Amino acid sequence: MKNFGLLAILIGFSFCLEAQTVKIGTQVWMTKNLDKIEFNNGDFLIEAKNKMQWLNAIKNQKPAYCYFNFDPKNGDKFGLIYNWYAVIDPRGIAPIGFHVPSKNEWSELKEFTNTGVEQSFKPLKSRFGWKMGQNGNNQFGFNAKPVGFLGGGNNFFIDKEETFWWTYDGTYDSNNYQIFFIDSQPHVVRFTEKENMFLDNQFLYKSNVDFGISIRCIKD
């Protein structure tokens, strides 16, 4: 009887995950940002409830998450914000059967959904919430919301113009970090690297391990 109950739970969990995914090209993406507070072995991440706790986690290189503006009410809307150490932890932050996308996987999504410069990647963006005139049409069901990020100065940036996600290529190196982001400006769907860089005459942010950024998972 216990085994039957466990099987029912697993089936229900699998159905829940499938209901929150969308197939785009050959890829299967989750339709919302990650809001997972434990690793796959059951260990919990540190929840940073204020700036000092966030800084302490970074200082000690501990995996941590927080809610936007440290307010749990924002969890349903935006998902959670994670530091880099949560991304690279071998216990696995992505649900079983999913992973944090690599740079190549983000590039494939970008190429498949880019319908032209003037579209400003509207097919990936949510229909509501972006700066006036910059909402998307959510053509593919990806539903990217302008979440912003927790910056290096431990201030939250959400101006209805940008959204950011971690990308991970499988290297457990705290210096090998990158983020993928969508801007409200046309054709700004880019990667930021370890170093500051220019691309299409626009200055890109320097990604850093003390940033707090969303995670959007892709199916294995």
pLDDT recorded at residue 4: 42
Domain positions in the chain are 21-219
Q: What is the pLDDT of residues 132-182, one digit of tens each?
A: 777 888 899 999 888 888 876 567 776 677 788 888 887 655 444 566 666
Q: Which residues contact 80 (CB under 8 A, 6 or more apart)?
A: 33, 34, 35, 36, 37, 65, 66, 67, 214, 215
Q: What is the pLDDT of residues 99-132, one digit of tens each?
A: 999 888 888 888 888 755 445 578 888 888 887 7
What CA–CA distance (Å, rounded) separates 175 from 203?
21
pTM, two decimal places? 0.80
Task: Confirm if 123 and 140 have CB atoms less than 8 A apart.
Answer: yes
Beta bridge partners of 218: 29, 99
